[in-house]
Amino acid sequence: MDDIDLKIIGLLALDAKRSLADIGGSVGLSPSSVNERIRRLTASGAIRQFTVDLDPAAMGVQTLVFVWIALREDADEAAFRDYAARHPLILECHHVTGAWAYLVKLRVGAPPEIEGFLAELKAHRYLGRSETVIALSSPVPGPFVPKES
């Protein structure tokens, strides 16, 4: 993982459809060398996957929501993590330091849908307390990659 690898990764992050010849011209290598490096980066797991960054609005999920969660004392934590991993709306779920146990990031079409999500969590007996935060605007939105349905 040298400077050239980092440069290649930077170029791919901006546009993964650039040709090997094009990338090679930018980093000073032949297309086949670039190909070999990308192959290695992918095989080693540094590049997890080639994907697409989508516009949330076009996908009908304009509303970005963060939910801080404290699990019920009798909740099955492993089951909750598995549930989060499978839930199509949950884009991220992190076990965090501080007053709350988990931070969940999700996207919905509109705020009223959040209620259903929380009800679902409650029905599964995961939810102790929670606090919901809605993004009003996003100076740095970050990429949006939907989860497999």
Partner DNA sequence: CGTGAAATCGACCGTAG
Partner DNA sequence: CTACGGTCGATTTCACG
> How many angstroms separate the CA atoms of 39 and 19, rounded?
14
Segment lying near its own copies (by CB under 8 A), choices 21-29, 48-56, 120-128: 48-56
Kindly identify the residues of this chain, within the stretch 45-104, that bind DNA according to CB under 7 A: none
Segment lying near DNA (by CB under 7 A), choices 34-42, 43-51, 78-86, 91-99: 34-42
Q: Which residue has the tokens 């740095």?
A: 140
* Rg of the chain over all Cα atoms, to the nearest angstrom: 20
Of 27 and 90, the one with the shorter C-beta distance to DNA is 27
Binding mask 18-47 for its own copies (x = CB under 8 A): --------------------------xxxx
> How many angstroms separate the CA atoms of 76 and 115, rounded?
22
> How many angstroms separate the CA atoms of 63 and 129, rounded?
22
Binding site for DNA (CB under 7 A): 4, 19-22, 24, 28-33, 35-37, 39
